[in-house]
């Protein structure tokens, strides 16, 4: 996995999935504090993530697996805080442990996916988060920020300060609930910085709030063998070098690590 991010694929239509398979994400405005609160309970997404790992015969080391799950959670919340037509990909290249995390999602298609890489990872001088934001019919934008923490929640807060140019707070609550609070114009920054986990759990009881919208996200990459094949098109006239005499080769999706078997005839 390189330091470059990958563009999210368009997933299949959400209409084929029941409501229970989605994570409901609420966007809530905190009145008089001018802060946007995004919250969700991520068990449905995590369940589908583990089904995906089981189907692909994949297993990640416990602490790395948790970081990837946390990163998918905070990216989902961030996507809902952004304009709905955006897609975003994040690559986190950690110096220690030497690992690359990749997560990507789309607010338009309401999907999130991700994977991690521990082999052939180049050691950076500093841990870095690379971001790529994509909007249809535009060039999009890229940025990168240096990280000084191993906690994905701190990563998204650093990203907000340096790339979004506004403060945000991320919280990991009980029962796989996560909350992101992002400052809006004229936000009460002192209040935002003073918040504890206990405060966040009671915001809708202690503050005047208004639900702005609710979205439903699921774990879904959208990859397929048909979408993998174009990446190998340059080998069409040089199949011998690609297959090295083997009847088939296995390739992995760079977004979710799903495995696909490719034969010479398929090219």
Answer yes or no: do 21 and 71 share one domain.
yes
pLDDT for res 55: 95
Q: What is the CATH number of the domain that holds 244?
A: 3.90.1280.10
Residue 5 within a domain: no
Residue 129 within a domain: yes
Strand order in the sheet with 23-30: 141-146, 128-135, 86-94, 99-106, 111-117, 209-219, 23-30, 35-41, 177-183, 168-172
Answer yes or no: do 171 and 194 share one domain.
yes
Range of the domain at 260: 225-266
- Cα atoms found within 13 Å of the Cα of residue 5, Cβ hemisphere only: 26
Answer yes or no: do 200 and 95 share one domain.
yes
Answer yes or no: do 31 and 135 share one domain.
yes
Answer yes or no: do 235 and 111 share one domain.
no
Q: Is 196 a residue whose pLDDT tops 80?
A: yes
Dist CA 248 CA 264 (whole Å): 7
Answer yes or no: do 38 and 145 share one domain.
yes
Answer yes or no: do 75 and 200 share one domain.
yes
Residue 21 within a domain: yes
Residue 4 within a domain: no
Give the residues across from 116 on adjacent strands. Answer: 101
The pLDDT tens digits for 20-52 are 589 999 999 999 999 999 999 999 999 999 999
If you average pLDDT over residues 76-104, what whole number do you get?
A: 94
pLDDT for res 11: 55
Residue 115 near residue 150, CB atoms below 8 Å: no
Question: In this structure, which long-range contacts are made by residues 3-6, counting pairs with CB atoms below 8 Å and at least 24 apart in sequence?
Answer: 3/91, 3/93, 3/122, 3/128, 3/130, 4/91, 4/130, 4/132, 5/89, 5/90, 5/91, 5/102, 5/104, 5/130, 5/131, 5/132, 5/142, 6/89, 6/102, 6/104, 6/254, 6/255
Answer yes or no: do 182 and 250 share one domain.
no
pLDDT for res 267: 77
Residue 212 within a domain: yes
Residue 7 within a domain: no
Domain count, the chain: 2
Is residue 14 very low, low, confident or very high in pLDDT (cuts 50, 70, 90)?
very low
pTM of the model: 0.89
Question: In this structure, which long-range contacts are made by residues 260-264, counting pairs with CB atoms below 8 Å and at least 24 apart in sequence?
Answer: 260/225, 260/228, 262/225, 262/228, 262/229, 262/232, 264/239
Question: In this structure, which long-range contacts are made by residues 136-142, counting pairs with CB atoms below 8 Å and at least 24 apart in sequence?
Answer: 136/85, 142/5
Q: Is 8 a residue whose pLDDT tops 60?
A: no
Dist CA 157 CA 178 (whole Å): 14
pLDDT for res 20: 59
Answer yes or no: do 114 and 243 share one domain.
no
What integer best gives the mean pLDDT of the chain?
90
Residue 102 within a domain: yes
Q: Is 177 a residue whose pLDDT tops 60?
A: yes
If you average pLDDT over residues 188-201, what whole number do you get?
A: 98
């Amino acid at each position: 996995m390189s330091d470059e991010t990958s563009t999210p694929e368009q997933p299949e239509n959400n209409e084929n999935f029941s409501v229970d398979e989605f994570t409901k994400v609420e966007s809530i405005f905190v009145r008089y504090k001018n802060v946007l609160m995004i919250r969700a309970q991520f068990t449905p997404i995590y369940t589908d993530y583990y089904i995906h790992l089981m189907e692909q015969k994949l297993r990640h080391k416990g602490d790395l697996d948790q970081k990837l799950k946390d990163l998918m959670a905070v990216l989902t919340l961030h996507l809902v805080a952004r304009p709905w037509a955006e897609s975003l990909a994040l690559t986190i290249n950690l110096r220690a442990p030497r690992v690359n995390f990749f997560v990507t999602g789309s607010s338009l298609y309401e999907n999130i996916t991700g994977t991690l890489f521990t082999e052939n990872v180049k050691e950076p001088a500093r841990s870095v988060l690379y971001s790529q934001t994509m909007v249809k019919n535009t060039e999009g934008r890229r940025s990168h920020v240096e990280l000084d923490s191993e906690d994905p929640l701190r990563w998204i807060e650093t990203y907000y300060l340096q790339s979004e140019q506004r403060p945000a707070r991320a919280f990991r609550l009980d029962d796989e609930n996560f909350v992101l609070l992002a400052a809006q114009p004229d936000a009460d920054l002192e209040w935002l910085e003073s918040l504890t986990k206990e405060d966040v759990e009671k915001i809708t009881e202690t503050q005047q709030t208004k639900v702005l919208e609710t979205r439903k996200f699921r774990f879904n990459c959208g990859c397929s063998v048909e979408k993998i094949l174009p990446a190998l098109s340059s080998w069409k006239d040089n199949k011998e070098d690609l297959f090295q005499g083997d009847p088939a080769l296995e390739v992995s999706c760079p977004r979710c690590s799903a495995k696909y078997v490719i034969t010479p005839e398929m090219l």
